[in-house]
Amino acid sequence: MTDPIYRLLPVLLIAALAGGCGIFGKDEPADPPVELADFDREFRVRKVWSVKIGGDTENLYLGLKPVSDGARVYAASHDGKVIAVDTISGKTYWKTSIDIAFSGGPGVGEGMLVLGSGNGEVIALNTLDGKERWRTSLSSEVLSTPAISRNIVVVRTVDGSVHGLSVTDGSQVWLIEQEVPRLTLRGNSSPVISDDVIICGFDDGRVMAISLEDGATVWDTLVSPATGRTEIERLSDIDGQLLIMGADIFVTGYQGRVAMLALESGQAWWERELSSHRGISSDGSTLYLTDDKSHIVAMARRNGEILWQQDALHRRMLTTTAVYGAFLVAGDFEGYLHWFKRSDGKLAARNKVGGGRISATPLVLDDLVFVQSDGGRLSAYRAKLPVAED
């Protein structure tokens, strides 16, 4: 099992992490994922509903994940299926089939969904009924979630470009082009909009703030500089989802750092050595990260101090965690959801999700967790927590 995937432009190359397997002639990884061990379960998890979206994408490592506007959950599959489902009942409001092989999205906003494909096609659909609004073609593959605000749709493509498109018809309003290292991880950090700026991470370890109006650079900060002699050693991609909280940005880099930046200026308030290609979640005061060995690390928001670390799921390709009340939840490569106590990282529950590997971060709304498997199934779960004693 290989995690993550490296991309050698223009050729796709699958490689392993240090001590890995595959292209280097070894049949088995030197540092394999651990087998699941028994533990004292604190509660059970109940499946509320489950629907089939589309075809299997087990080996494609795509940027598809569920999103919500509050009342509905939307999800897409690689074979062109898009679905809108009631969050509580699982009732399908609409399902459509598009002649596009989706690879990133959907993004939701301004009454529409926006998705991207492996050949750079971008399509916008009405959230109400799934009808197509517009489509356009960009420079290369889309592996991240488009961001939508006011009159602009922001789409990141794997060639280092950031496209500002018109909400009305998808025409290009502005374009940012960045150089991409010859060897990078397969994946992109999704752009995040905050007021009138877009924050985006790049494959050379930089984070940039871009004007939403005209694409001008507001600031540019190197967070995760490349080090080492070989191209693999010098990988420093920022692929995980950036987290914006108030006036602060939190970011992680592969073989690099986790850092807290000022939203206004990009100045680094603190930095810690930590390698991750996943995103960051938070409960407000504590940050939760999944590192490149699938260890979950809890850090203090104010200074990056490590509070605890959970390594019981070593190399199981854990997703970014999602906060669920007093717990965290993350999926793995065998389709299990793992539940951890926020206070100390202790395993509290586990349940199997149908549909194979889970690559997308679970989505939490109120007391429901929505999970999209790589096998093309969207499911909702609820933790059956014990009743508190008086």
96 and 28 share a domain?
no
10 and 68 share a domain?
no
What pLDDT sits at residue 24? 34
Q: Is the peptide bond before 106 cis (omega within 30 degrees of 0)?
A: yes
What pLDDT sits at residue 27? 52
389 and 284 share a domain?
yes
Q: Give whole-number Cα distances, 57 to 98, 103, 236, 278, in Å.
A: 16, 10, 26, 19
Domain boundary among 186, 202, 226: 186
Cα separation, 116 vs 103, in Å, equals 6
73 and 146 share a domain?
yes
We report the CATH number of the domain holding residue 158 as: 2.40.128.630
294 and 382 share a domain?
yes
Residue 246: inside a domain, yes or no?
A: no
69 and 167 share a domain?
yes
We report the CATH number of the domain holding residue 281 as: 2.130.10.10
337 and 365 share a domain?
yes
Residue 129 CB neighbours (<10 A): 10
Q: Which two tokens stand for residue 361?
A: 């971060």
- Averages of pLDDT over runs of 10 residues in the chain (390 residues) are 46 37 48 95 97 79 91 95 97 96 96 96 98 97 95 96 98 94 84 97 94 97 86 85 97 92 97 94 98 97 98 97 98 97 98 91 97 95 72
Residue keyed to tokens 């202790």: 346
pTM of the model as a whole: 0.91
Residue keyed to tokens 């590997």: 357
What pLDDT sits at residue 55? 80
Name the nearest CA neighbour of 354 among 329, 336, 339: 336
- DSSP of 7-31, one letter per residue? EETTEEE---STT--STTS-SS-SS
SS (H, E, C) 316-331: CCCCCCEEECCEEEEE
What pLDDT sits at residue 324? 98
Report residue 343: phi and psi, to 5°: -70, -35
What pLDDT sits at residue 143? 95
- The amino acid present at 84, given as its one-letter code, is A
26 and 111 share a domain?
no
Residue 289: inside a domain, yes or no?
A: yes
| Beta-ladder partners of 363 | 370
With contact defined as beta carbons under 8 Å apart, do 104 and 146 qualify?
yes
Rg of the Cα atoms in the chain: 20
Domain boundary among 167, 186, 205: 186
Domain boundaries, position 336: 41-59+277-390
Q: Count the domains in the chain.
A: 3
96 and 175 share a domain?
yes
DSSP tag of 153? E
Residue 155: inside a domain, yes or no?
A: yes
68 and 180 share a domain?
yes
10 and 94 share a domain?
no
What pLDDT sits at residue 2? 45
What pLDDT sits at residue 12? 36
Q: Cα angle at 54 between 354 and 139, to 5 degrees?
A: 120
Residue 262: inside a domain, yes or no?
A: no
Residue 50: inside a domain, yes or no?
A: yes
Residue 243: inside a domain, yes or no?
A: no
Domain boundary among 163, 186, 209: 186
